[in-house]
Amino acid sequence: MQNASTAYKTAMKQPLRNRSYLRVSIGVINQKAQASAQVENAEECTYWSNLKKPLENDTVDLLYATAEQDYSKTDGNMYFLPRSPDDVVLNAGIVSAELLGAVRVSFDTAYDIKGMMIEFGKSFPTDFTIESDNNTVSISGNGSGSFRTEEIFMQSTYILITPTTMSNGNGRLHVNQITMGIGIFFTNKDIKSSSLKDTVSPISEDLPAIDFSLTVDNTKGVYDTSNDESLINFLETEQECIVEYGYELNDGTIEWISGAKVYMKSWSADDTQMQTSYVDRFAYMQDTYYKGKYYSDGISLFALAVDVLTDAGLEESDYWIDPYLETIIVYNPIPVCMHKEALQIIANAGRCILSQDQEAKIYLKSSFLPDMVASSDNEAYFSNVANVLISGSKDIYATANKSFSVTNGTQFFLPRPDSEKVLLNTGYVSDVTSDEDGLFEDNPKIAITLETAFKFYNLALQFGGIPPEELIIHTFLNEAAVEDLTISEILTETVISHEFIDFNKMIIEITKGSAYNRAIVNLIEFGEVTDYTLEKALDLTDNPTGTKLEKVKAIQLTRTMYNQAGTLQELLNEKVTASDTEYEFIFEFSNASYGYVCSLSDPGAGQSISILESGAFYIRVSLNGFTEETEVTISISGYEYVISSAKTVISLNSSGEVKTWGNPLISTVIQAKEVGEWMGEYLSADKEYGIPYRGDPRIDANDILYMENDYIDDLQVRVLEHSVSFGGTLSGSIKARRIM
Q: DSSP letter string over 545-584? A: EEEEPPPEEEEEEEEEEEE--S--EEEEEEEEEE-SS--E
- Phi, psi for residue 241 in degrees, rounded to 5: -135, 130
The answer on pLDDT for 405 being more than 60 is: no
Query: If DSSP states are collapsed to H, E and C, what string results for 369-383?
Result: CCCEEEECCCECCCC
Q: Which letter does DSSP use for residue 713 in this model?
A: T
Which whole number is the average pLDDT over 39-46? 93
∠ CA 380-382-387, nearest 5°, is 95
Tell me which H or E stretch contains 25. Answer: strand 20-29
Q: What is the pLDDT of residue 6?
A: 85
pLDDT above 90 coverage of the chain, percent: 67
Q: pLDDT category, 205, cuts 50, 70, 90?
A: very high
Give dist(CA 278, CA 184) in Å, integer: 15
Which whole number is the average pLDDT over 483-495? 90
Q: Which of 232-241, 313-322, 360-369, 731-740 has the lowest mean pLDDT?
A: 232-241
Cα-trace Rg, the chain = 33
Q: pLDDT category, 264, cuts 50, 70, 90?
A: very high
Q: What is the pLDDT of residue 529?
A: 61
Q: What is the pLDDT of residue 542?
A: 94
Q: What is the pLDDT of residue 176?
A: 94
Q: What does DSSP say about strands 730-738 and 209-217: parallel, antiparallel, or unpaired? A: unpaired
For domain 372-526, the question of CATH label 2.40.128.20 is answered with: no
The answer on pLDDT for 199 being more than 90 is: yes
CATH topology for the 31-179 domain? Jelly Rolls (2.60.120)
Q: Which letter does DSSP use for residue 514 in this model?
A: S
Q: Which CATH number applies to 565-640?
A: 2.60.40
Q: pLDDT category, 622, cuts 50, 70, 90?
A: very high
Q: What is the pLDDT of residue 456?
A: 80
Q: Do 642 and 566 contact (CB within 8 A), yes or no?
A: yes
The answer on pLDDT for 233 being more than 80 is: no
pTM: 0.77
The answer on pLDDT for 422 being more than 70 is: no
Q: Which of 162-166, 378-382, 485-489 has the lowest mean pLDDT?
A: 378-382
Give Cα 475 distance to the centre of its chain. Answer: 20
Which whole number is the average pLDDT over 130-142? 95
Which whole number is the average pLDDT over 43-72? 89
Q: pLDDT category, 403, cuts 50, 70, 90?
A: low
The answer on pLDDT for 227 being more than 90 is: no
Q: How many CB atoms lie within 10 A of CB 79?
A: 14
Q: Do 380 and 429 contact (CB within 8 A), yes or no?
A: yes
Decide which of 147 and 184 is more confident: 147
Buried/exposed 153-175: b ≥16 CB within 10 Å, e otherwise: beebebbbbbbeebbeeebbbbb
Q: Is 655 exposed, middle or buried (0-12, 13-18, 19+ CB in 10 A)?
A: exposed
Q: pLDDT category, 638, cuts 50, 70, 90?
A: very high
Decide which of 497 and 342 is more confident: 342
The answer on pLDDT for 674 being more than 80 is: yes
Which whole number is the average pLDDT over 257-266? 95
Q: What is the pLDDT of residue 420?
A: 63
- One-letter amino acid of 456: F
Q: Which of 207-216, 496-505, 507-516, 650-659 has the lowest mean pLDDT?
A: 496-505
pLDDT above 70 coverage of the chain, percent: 96
Average pLDDT across the chain, whole number: 90
Which whole number is the average pLDDT over 518-537? 84
Give dist(CA 289, CA 82) in Å, integer: 67
Q: What is the pLDDT of residue 402?
A: 65
**Nearest CA-CA partner of 341 in 182, 443, 224, 207:** 207
**pLDDT tens per residue, range 97-113:** 999 999 999 999 999 99
Instruction: Choose the CATH number for 286-305+315-366 among 3.30.2420, 3.55.50, 1.10.20, 3.30.460.
Output: 3.55.50
Torsion angle, alpha carbons of 167, 169, 174, 175, to 10: 40
Q: What is the pLDDT of residue 228?
A: 65
Which whole number is the average pLDDT over 420-436? 81
Which whole number is the average pLDDT over 705-732? 92
Decide which of 30 and 102 is more confident: 102
